[in-house]
Amino acid sequence: MTTVDDLWYLADEASQQAEQTYHRLAGDHEGVLEFETTKHVSRRRFRTVAARIEDNGAPYGAHTLVERPDGALLLVRHEALGLWVLPGGETREDETFREGAARELTEEAGVEAVYDGLGMLGRVRFRSGGHETWGVLPLFEARAEGVTPTVEDPDGEITKARWFIDLPEDTRDREHLETWREHR
């Protein structure tokens, strides 16, 4: 008996949801800096991210590019990844992407900020074997005044939160963040 591989179907459904989400976000926010990245992942990881994308178009939820008046950018340390990353994560069913980004910012760094809109819109492509799909990564811009970050991450993934003028070498998507800073 032959086992039918449904991964191609899941990947196609996820791509369709990503397309809808992308067009909705791009249509609601003009002048947004866009970027694209590709990740080669295991079959198991591919199934996980494709299912997340199928749900709302975003494999990683929503994140915040939060700056202080001096230009410092807030990053949080994700120990499982071994990287400094933007605060953010998956959205809840009853949240918009911006609401989810704000909640995650508060949970991961103890910071409340004034949101300005969508700062960057990423397309993240995922490949595994012969399968491919993509999802949207919304990064919202926000401002915060001299707040000292405090980590209160309920998931325990985030261990530190700090402001950076110069981004550390081990910052995820560092080149995209530098490009965003240059265009501000």
pTM listed for this prediction: 0.91
CA 164 – CA 106 distance, rounded (Å): 18
pLDDT tens string 12-29? 999 999 999 999 999 888
- pLDDT band at residue 153 using 50, 70 and 90 as cut-offs: confident
pLDDT at 2: 43
For residues 86-102, average pLDDT: 95
What are the residues whose beta carbons fall under 8 Å from the beta carbon of 96, sequence distance 6 or more? Answer: none
Instruction: Please give the structure tokens belonging to residue 18.
Output: 């990503």
| H or E element that contains 181 | helix 174-182
- pLDDT band at residue 143 using 50, 70 and 90 as cut-offs: very high
Three-state SS string over 15-76 comes to: HHHHHHHHHHHHHHCCCCEEEEEEEECCHHHHHHHHHHHHHHCCCCCEEEEEECCCCCEEEE
- pLDDT band at residue 5 using 50, 70 and 90 as cut-offs: confident
- Give me the domains of the chain, ranges plus CATH numbers: 7-182 (3.90.79.10)
